[in-house]
A and B are shown apart, each in its own frame.
Chain A
């Protein structure tokens, strides 16, 4: 069966520090991968999606970047965090585009 894991679950970081959130999917190959963010009082916003290794599409201008170094690994990064980067980040995968999404456990980031 397929599983998705993301970590860390909780992160408290100072402004200006770097960020790395990781997500891995097991039990499937060539998944479509997504990073979503839920900021306070807002819905899920698509940040990045990837249909293959090294292929990243960015949805909104922001302080974040994503990489897909392996087929089932998706990484969300920042060189210098801003206060506005605080939120709940969800990694997700799908087989079809745009098929049902399967979400990870989420990572709550607080930037102080």
Chain B
């Protein structure tokens, strides 16, 4: 079945840029997502990119998609302590709305 892989942990200093990477296996992915989970909370949709795009920018967030290599990245500019959270990469294939596969999440630690 489909698989989404991402590293477990990333530590950055406040003010630096953070880059969280993800790879996926489903070549028929239509949407790719980044969700943010703060402690004790549910997942919040942070941003997404449609599979026919290669870049999307939204304020401090930049999403890059390399469809050939099935690689997705999330760059957070000027990282703040409030960005400390777990970030989940997810992909949606063509099997319907329920067919969203999540990665295991990357814990971002921002050091003041």
**A pairs with B:** no
User: Could you tell me which B residues sit within 8 Å of A by CB distance?
Assistant: none
